[in-house]
């Protein structure tokens, strides 16, 4: 159902990293598109940056189709197995444990063979050499990803600046986190495919990506979500952020070593989002307190006093609403869920994202400005 634009100056779609789980984000975008909500800022890290490139680099009417083409492409095994889809469908009818074992085999095949249109193993293996060029110091070659993106992403459209695009990566030499942005900063109007690939270059699987003489790795090494970057932008506007997370902070206490490793991933990659959300909520509360207190200061003092001038620059009464869309663990998920690219699994992830955004958009009040006395609110379908 199409709907009027929510009454926020900025509508942001914030996409976390999570490998094969990124199909969930594609489902979320489809639901937003179906509902007539068009984000004017796309911010992503890792697989979130790849999805950002596909959305921003496609004509609006073609975005969902290009997302589908990408995910259908990279979820094909490098070595075709004609009956694989039939087998997975059949195994799924045998129950969650059978599906989990089949998914583990699919993930193992991806590790050994690579994924069509995404990555392929290096031959000879890199551990046979003690010194390699930086762009070859990895288990996999990601040149197939560049070819796939080049067929689907229009860089001129991205660099035109609408919607705004921000993707994060880490400078390997300095260890500093950096955002590549199409509207501000040194990369304004000149983003390349390498910027998006760099954001998803997770070592040691993928090599660092060279950009203007510097090498960059996956932004998830420092922060797995760009929510803080979006909410810290100046000038501060009323903002509605759809925060799409691929790792859930909530989960079961593991009872074996494999589940323990999987749970460790969930906590490691989800905790950053929780911390940033709490920090931003607290900061906005303090900014609004300063704004209200300044009303009691005489106008001439506000204009002449140094501390009042600084406080006035910091004060802010904007309103923020964050709608969390968090992938929920399936019984058949396992340790390899972020690199299990099976076609049926991809479609299930996509469907989950679509279901979650549709259910979230059914809460019409979530798309309105918060009550006047509230400056920062969060909504989460799965915590209602």
Residues recognised as catalytic: 46, 218
d(CA 55, CA 58): 6
d(CA 250, CA 247): 9
How far does Cα 343 stand from its chain's mean position?
Answer: 20
Q: Determine contact, residues 328/382, Cβ cutoff 8 Å.
A: yes
- Give the chain's radius of gyration (CA, Å): 22
For 50, the token pair is 């790849």
Where do the H-state alpha helices sit in the chain?
23-34, 47-56, 63-74, 84-92, 96-113, 143-152, 155-159, 193-199, 227-231, 257-294, 299-304, 306-314, 343-361
Residue with the two structure tokens 């890199």: 126
For 188, the token pair is 């304004």
Contacts for 252 with CB less than 8 Å, ≥ 6 apart = 259, 263
Q: Determine contact, residues 145/119, Cβ cutoff 8 Å.
A: yes
Alpha-carbon separation of residue 71 from 134, 263, 353 (angstroms): 28, 26, 14
d(CA 116, CA 74): 5
Q: Determine contact, residues 208/217, Cβ cutoff 8 Å.
A: yes
For 318, the token pair is 């904007």
């Amino acid at each position: 159902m199409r709907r009027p634009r929510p009454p926020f100056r900025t509508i942001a779609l914030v996409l976390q990293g999570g490998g094969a789980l990124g199909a969930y984000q594609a489902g979320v975008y489809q639901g937003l598109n179906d509902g007539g909500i068009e984000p004017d800022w796309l911010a992503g890290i890792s697989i979130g940056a790849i999805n950002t490139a596909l959305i921003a680099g496609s004509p609006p009417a073609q975005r969902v189709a290009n997302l589908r083409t990408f995910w259908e492409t990279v979820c094909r095994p490098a070595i075709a197995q004609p009956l694989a889809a039939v087998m997975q469908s059949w195994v799924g009818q045998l129950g969650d444990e059978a599906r989990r074992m089949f998914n583990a085999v699919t993930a193992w095949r991806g590790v050994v063979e690579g994924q069509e249109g995404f990555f392929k193993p290096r031959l000879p293996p890199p551990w046979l050499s003690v010194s390699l060029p930086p762009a070859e110091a990895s288990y996999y070659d990601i040149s197939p990803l560049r070819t796939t993106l080049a067929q689907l992403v229009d860089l001129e459209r991205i660099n035109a600046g609408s919607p705004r695009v921000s993707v994060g990566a880490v400078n390997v030499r300095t260890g500093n986190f950096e955002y590549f942005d199409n509207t501000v900063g040194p990369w304004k109007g000149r983003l390349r495919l390498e910027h998006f690939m760099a954001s998803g270059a997770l070592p040691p699987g993928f090599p660092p990506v060279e950009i203007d003489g510097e090498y960059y790795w996956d932004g998830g090494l420092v922060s797995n979500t760009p929510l803080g970057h979006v909410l810290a932008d100046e000038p501060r506007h009323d903002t509605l952020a759809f925060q799409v997370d691929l790792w859930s902070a909530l989960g079961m206490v593991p009872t074996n070593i494999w589940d323990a490793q999987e749970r460790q991933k969930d906590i490691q990659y989800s905790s950053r989002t929780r911390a940033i959300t709490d920090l931003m909520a607290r900061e906005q509360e303090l900014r609004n307190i300063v704004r209200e207190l300044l009303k009691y200061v005489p106008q001439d003092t506000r204009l002449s006093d140094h501390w009042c001038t600084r406080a006035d620059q910091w004060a802010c009464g904007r309103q923020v609403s964050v709608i969390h869309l968090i992938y929920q663990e399936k019984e058949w998920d396992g340790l390899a869920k972020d690199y299990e690219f099976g076609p049926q699994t991809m479609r299930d992830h996509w469907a989950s994202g679509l279901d979650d955004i549709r259910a979230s958009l059914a809460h019409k009040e979530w798309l309105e400005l918060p009550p006047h006395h509230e400056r920062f609110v969060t909504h989460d379908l799965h915590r209602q």
